[in-house]
Amino acid sequence: MMGPTDLEELLRRAGDGDEGAVTELFDRYRKRLRQMIRLRLDRRLQGRVDPSDVLQDAYIDLTEQLPAYFARPELPFFLWLRLLAGQRLMRVHRHHLGAAMRDAGREVSLYKGALPQASSVSLAAQLLGRFTSASQAAVRAERQLQLQAAINGMDEIDREMIALRHFEELSNGEVAEILSLSKAAASNRYVRAMVRLQTILESLPGFLDRPGE
Domain residue spans in the chain? 4-104, 117-203
| 2-22 pLDDT, tens digit each | 666 799 999 999 999 999 999
Question: Quick check: 58 and 33 in contact, CB under 8 A?
Answer: yes
Q: What is the mean pLDDT of the chain?
A: 85
Bigger pLDDT: 164 vs 211:
164
Given a cut of 70, whether residue 211 has pLDDT beyond it is no
pLDDT of residue 35: 94
Q: Which residues pair with 116 in a beta bridge?
A: 107
Residue 157: name the closest of 101, 122, 196, 199 by CA.
Answer: 196
pLDDT of residue 213: 45
What is the rounded distance in angstroms from the CA atom of residue 171 to the CA atom of residue 191? 14
What is the rounded distance in angstroms from the CA atom of residue 132 to the CA atom of residue 125? 10
Question: Quick check: 49 and 96 in contact, CB under 8 A?
Answer: yes
Q: If you average pLDDT over residues 76-97, what whole number do you get? A: 94
DSSP state at residue 46: B
CATH of domain 117-203: 1.20.140.160
| 100-156 pLDDT, tens digit each | 665 444 554 445 555 787 878 888 888 877 655 555 667 778 888 888 888 888 888
The fold adopted by the segment(s) 4-104 is Rna Polymerase Sigma Factor; Chain: A (1.10.1740)
Is the Cα torsion angle 166, 189, 109, 101 positive or negative in sign?
Answer: positive
Look up the pTM and report it: 0.82
Is the Cα torsion angle 46, 52, 54, 55 positive or negative in sign?
Answer: positive
Q: If you average pLDDT over residues 173-198, what whole number do you get? A: 94
pLDDT confidence bin for 99, thresholds 50/70/90: low
Looking at the chain, the whole-number percentage of residues with pLDDT higher than 90 is 54
What is the rounded distance in angstroms from the CA atom of residue 61 to the CA atom of residue 54? 10
Is the Cα torsion angle 161, 164, 166, 170 positive or negative in sign?
Answer: negative
pLDDT of residue 130: 60
Helix (H) or strand (E) holding 115: strand 115-116
Bigger pLDDT: 61 vs 104:
61
| 67-79 pLDDT, tens digit each | 999 999 999 999 9
